[in-house]
Amino acid sequence: MAEVAGGPRPEGEGARRRRAAPPLPQYLCSSSLFPLQTVPGPAAPRRAGPPPARDAPTSGSARPAPPLPRTRVREAPGGRGQPGWAGPCGGGASRGGRGRALPLTVVAPVSPAAEAAELRARLRSVKHTVLVLSGKGGVGKSTFSALLAHGLAADEAKQVALLDIDICGPSIPKMMGLEGEQVHQSGSGWSPVYVEENLGVMSVGFLLSSPDDAVIWRGPKKNGLIKQFLRDVDWGEIDYLIVDTPPGTSDEHLSIVQYLSAAHIDGAVIITTPQEVSLQDVRKEINFCHKVKVPIIGVVENMSGFICPKCKNESQIFPPTTGGAEKMCQNLNISLLGKVPLDPQIGKSCDKGQSFLSEVPDSPATSSYRSIIQRIQEYCDLQHFQEEKTI
Amino acid sequence: CAEILARSNLAGVRHILLVLSGKGGVGKSTIATELALSLRHSGKKVGILDVDLCGPSIPRMFNVQDNDVHQCDSGWVPVFVDQDKSISLMSIGFLLEKPDDAVVWRGPKKNALIKQFVADVAWGDLDFLIVDTPPGTSDEHISTVEALRPYKPLGAILVTTPQAVSVGDVRRELTFCKKTGLRVLGIIENMSGFVCPHCSECTNIFSKGGGEELAKHAGVPFLGSVPLDPQLSQSLEEGRDFIQEFPKSSAFPALAHIAQQILDGTSPQSS
Ligand SMILES: Nc1ncnc2c1ncn2[C@@H]1O[C@H](COP(=O)(O)OP(=O)(O)OP(=O)(O)O)[C@@H](O)[C@H]1O
Ligand SMILES: Nc1ncnc2c1ncn2[C@@H]1O[C@H](COP(=O)(O)OP(=O)(O)OP(=O)(O)O)[C@@H](O)[C@H]1O
Ligand SMILES: [Mg+2]
Ligand SMILES: [Mg+2]
Ligand SMILES: [Zn+2]
């Protein structure tokens, strides 16, 4: 069984940037829907037949998602499209022969209750959890997650973990300057990759063997990996767990909320850009948070306005035609944590894998990020305080 | 089988194109929209199937977000953008009771609806059916490609922005195309440079050249660079016809050129 690690800290300098070739890549590749490699990993236990029962709670059929908010179409023509249909090349469930056990350390099926206990034990050492969410793609979730992690880790006394659950489009390895790094295994699980001694990172990107590798997975496999990221990674004692997510309200989002319910979620930071095309998706994400009872710490409006470096005039490249995040936050009665302008330096720092906060410390965007990070920190402290009071 | 294909709702559709990207927010829905408008401008009948179930953008980009889907004998009637029915749309956005409702679905439900979208929408005769997708290589993409396979899609247009973080994700999408046997029609670099409307200074807000480099590296056609253009984002906000109304705008030439390449690639002489 995956045991509760006694919270081992990163092993100092030696643990950083260590390169090892663990058996993970093969496992990942061979269990992908369209196998990237046909050679099975030596350490990946081969298992025929249906996936282990422990996966059941994550699959759509076993735990049906809330029904479609009432549709205006009266009747589905032809009676096709039964919910639960997994498709000709569905995830683990419908590819019995190809399905392979995900766990590294656990092979025997585990009951949902035991699993929750396991997760709870592992997550007991996490003080604060912050999800970074948006209904819209490309609004700056990963950039913000990375900078939030850097910002919090500036305090050397704090241990920060950054978890990337964007399984098909992981950006965190590049943004943290960890591209090409690989995860290695220790007695107590997978070790995160460390940027600093107090900043550990985990992403599917560390499990891929080439930048061309695609993770062509349906929901159940993505859910399985997310669970492993929480249960099988030896995070140690953590003050802040920051979770970067893909856009949307689907498998990854439901799973992370479900698995983290074994611990505690301080809240979600919602990222948007000013235009209505983005806000309309973000309102859905806010409704998702209400539905699954994740508190909203606040909204960040990113890419709001661009000041021309030559003439200093401002242009609204993504125009706030319906009042931007400010109006939305007023209407929905949630906090606006701040606005971050467009700054070409942000994209450049991301591409170079450096922290924009330390690269360009005196820009308007940096001071905006800093004040937002501070507000999040204060929110978390307050949460902690209230919790202690209730105990 | 041939008989089933002949009777299917896609029997009258000549060319099917997918718009894909591994990266979010790079302009997939924008390209799908502007391509449809450009093709209409050239006299074509176009449909857009929006398989982004959690974040559908297409209804608003045509300002028809309040429309309903109705049913007829052969299935669901798509939403028409104009009187001439030259552009028709299908999106989950038309099926929601309240526009802000979240579609909190795991894979199987998404797959079921996509299958239904492919089988049951009464498109009628179309020159082009453009499929707008969410970012990634997961349920929506696998299901869409599987469901469309019998109808032999022409191929996929890949959209990226110039930065390395975006290009990296699009490299993975190229692998998806290869693995699923989907032809790559070409790569578009969107949001490539911004010309200040006040002083004409060009700033590469999201860097420049990454998409073109990727096309070269991968040996696939490069369809062009579309600059950041506030008139484009503004007209998408209002659901206006950018191609008709802003021919002098900075993004127009690149968008028109992209449509022309698609037309050239599908004209009878070339096929
Ligand atoms: N304020 C900003 N100014 C300029 N560039 C920015 C800004 N914020 C983010 N970017 C850049 O925009 C791109 C998209 O950001 P990012 O990848 O963080 O978005 P995302 O929401 O995580 O996208 P996805 O939905 O694909 O996960 C990145 O290249 C990033 O560096
Ligand atoms: N060339 C451009 N100039 C200015 N704005 C643009 C340009 N291309 C796209 N946009 C704007 O950028 C935003 C994101 O574009 P869009 O919604 O088309 O991206 P997407 O790839 O479909 O995103 P998602 O991954 O969320 O589906 C939209 O508001 C759009 O209007
Ligand atoms: Mg991201
Ligand atoms: Mg889109
Ligand atoms: Zn200027």
Position A46 pLDDT exceeds 70: no
Query: Position B118: which residue type?
Result: V
- Tell how far the Cα of A13 is from the centroid of ligand 4, in angstroms: 43
Closest C-alpha among B259, B188, B269 to residue B223: B188
pLDDT on residue A113: 83
Q: Which two tokens stand for residue A20?
A: 């090892």
pLDDT at position A32 is: 30
Q: How far apart are CA A136 and CA A142, in angstroms?
A: 12
Whether residue A347 and residue B206 make contact (CB cut-off 8 A), yes or no, is: yes
Q: Is the pLDDT of residue A101 over 70?
A: no
B115–A85: do the CB atoms touch at under 8 Å? yes
At A122 the pLDDT is: 87
pLDDT above 80 for A194: yes
Evaluate if residue B196 carries a pLDDT over 70.
yes
Long-range contacts of A5-9 (CB under 8 A, 24+ apart): A5/A122, A5/A188, A5/A189, A5/A234, A5/A236, A6/A188, A7/A125, A7/A236, A7/A237, A8/A188, A8/A234, A8/A236, A9/A159, A9/A236, A9/A237
pLDDT of res. A65: 29
d(CA A384, CA A8): 23
Residue bearing tokens 């002083």 = B199
Q: Name the residue type at position A168.
A: C
Q: Which of A33, A82, A246 sits opposite B136 (nearest CB)?
A: A246
Q: For residue B68, is it left (φ>0), alpha (ψ between -120 and 50) or beta?
A: beta
Which pLDDT belongs to residue A168?
A: 97
CA distance A197 to A64: 41
Binned at pLDDT 50, 70 and 90, residue B1 comes out as: low
Beta-carbon separation of B102 and A288 below 8 A: yes
What is the pLDDT averaged over residues A54-83?
31
* pLDDT tens digits, one per residue of B19-53: 999 999 999 999 999 999 999 999 999 999 999 99
Reduced to 3 states (helix: H, G, I; strand: E, B; else coil), residue A100 is coil
Contact call for residues B225 and B189 (beta carbons, < 8 A): yes
Within 6 A (CB) of ligand 2 lie: A 136-138, 247, 275, 277-278, 317-318; B 21, 24-30, 52, 55, 57, 134-135, 190-191, 226, 228-229, 232-233, 236, 251
Helix intervals (H) in chain A: 24-31, 112-123, 141-153, 172-175, 219-231, 251-260, 276-292, 324-332, 344-352, 356-359, 364-390
**What is the pLDDT averaged over residues A252-277?**
95
Instruction: Output the pLDDT for position A262.
Output: 80
Q: What sign for the dihedral angle of Cα B108, B110, B115, B120?
A: positive
**For a pLDDT cut of 70, what percent of chain A falls above it?**
70
According to the model, what pLDDT value does residue A112 have? Answer: 80
Secondary structure, 3-state, B84-104: CCCEEEEEHHHCECCCCCCCC
* Residue A143 CA, ligand 3 centroid: distance in Å: 7
pLDDT in tens, A301-312: 999 999 999 999
pLDDT computed for residue A177 by the predictor: 98
Residue B88 φ then ψ, to 5°: -125, 145
Residue A196 pairs with which residues in a beta bridge? A199
User: Does residue B101 have a pLDDT over 50?
Assistant: yes
Give the pLDDT confidence of B102-159 residue by residue, as tens digits. Answer: 999 999 999 999 999 999 999 999 999 999 999 999 999 999 999 999 999 999 999 9
| Cβ–Cβ < 8 Å for A369, A151 | yes
Mean pLDDT calculated for residue range A131-157: 98
pLDDT value at position A109?
Answer: 57
- The residues, ordered by sequence, that sit 6+ positions from A332 with a Cβ below 8 Å of its Cβ are A283, A286
Predicted complex ipTM: 0.96
Q: Is the pLDDT of residue A59 over 60?
A: no
Average pLDDT taken over every residue of chain A:
77
A205, B32, B246, A314 alpha-carbon torsion, rounded to 10°: -20
pLDDT at B269: 65
Ligand 1 atom with minimal separation from the A244 CA: 22
A33: its two tokens:
């829907």
Residues of B whose CB is below 8 A from A284: 54-55, 100-103
